[in-house]
Amino acid sequence: MSEAYFTIVNPAAGGGRCGKLAPRALERLRAAGLSLEVHETRRPGEATVLANGAYADGFRKFIAVGGDGTGFEIINGLFPDAATQGRASLGFLPLGTGNSFLRDFVRNGTDLAEFGAQAILDRRSRPCDVIRLEHSGGSVFFINTLNMGFAADVATLTNRRLKFLGEPGYLVGVLVSLARLRRRPFPLRADGARDDRRCLFVAFSNSKYTGGKMMIAPHAAIDSGTIEYVHWGPIGRLGLVRNLPTLFTGTHIRHPMASRRTAVRIDFELKHPVNVVIDGEVLTLEAESLEVLPGALDVTV
């Protein structure tokens, strides 16, 4: 097994910011004695291919240099093999736009890039659950959150049309999605209990944040062995405007229309594909189920 860190850089992350900042960040790691094998991506999905090949070649330590989407692609290159053929670890140099995952481990105002680099240098590691999404076309793995409804509407608009704005693009996406507000059910069973209530959104989380600083699942924990399921009912435009700040503090779950629970398995009963946002990536798919792989990945945080 290689002791080097297989390092995947997405230079386009953060509107090109990652490509400018990555060389200096990586040189800092090398100066501290870390052996890095660095590869840059040039197109979506390439990090998955690179990570999968590196794992097959004996690499077990990986670093994602970019945003949440870079980590998402790497994880999907490691799994399902890493669940049965030897543990892998993943560190982060968060030089992208959202960088949601690391926010679970820092105080407000912390420099996430500095935190990620220091965690790698200190070799801080802890087990992290991985969630497997089965859909009509195969499997997807994630460690942050999957959202349907309003949060997915915002992310779809932001990622496909407003990403060039960087972090402010999320706010623009929120405002546009508010004007187009849709409330509909996403029928499912959570550990066998049916839920077909209409909603603003549903979220299935392993960690707290999405979309940068939106604390969708304040009770989520990366090593709980469960999925944090948050449902916010069909609130109206005025009510959403009044409560919009609570999405960033996690206090939205106190709203009378909100509910939360934990589950080890979600079975969807959707009749058609829907837009979902998974760890910063927007996909359109026909979801079938979610299942937890407890502590399947070591994350450097």
Every domain of the chain and the residues it spans: 2-124, 142-295
CA 246, chain centre distance (Å): 20
Point out the residues of the chain with pLDDT beneath 50: none
3-state secondary structure of 205: strand
Per-residue pLDDT tens over the stretch 162-185: 767 766 777 787 788 888 888 999
Taking every pair of Cα atoms in the chain, the longest distance, rounded to a whole number of angstroms, is: 57
Helix (H, G, I), strand (E, B) or coil at 71: helix
In this structure, are residues 42 and 97 in contact, taking their beta carbons and an 8 Å threshold? no
pLDDT at position 38: 96
The CATH number given to 2-124 is 3.40.50.10330
Question: Which pLDDT does position 108 carry in this prediction?
Answer: 81
State if pTM tops 0.85. Answer: yes
Other residues' Cβ atoms within 10 Å of the Cβ of residue 19: 18
Report pLDDT for 135: 96
Question: Can you give the pLDDT at residue 240?
Answer: 87
The DSSP H or E segment spanning 267 is: strand 265-268
What is residue 76's predicted lDDT score, i.e. its pLDDT? 98
Architecture of the domain delimited by 142-295: Sandwich (2.60)
What pLDDT was estimated at residue 193? Answer: 96
Q: How far apart are CA 14 and CA 26, in angstroms?
A: 17
Please compute, for residue 103, the number of CA atoms within 13 A of its CA located in the half-sphere on the CB side: 26
Alpha-carbon gap, residue 74 to 41, rounded angstroms: 11
Contact 200, 232 (CB under 8 A): yes
For helices 112-121 and 17-31, give the axis angle rounded to 10 degrees.
30
Q: Is 264 strand, coil or helix?
A: coil
pLDDT (0 to 100) of residue 166? 65
Helix (H) or strand (E) holding 46: helix 46-56
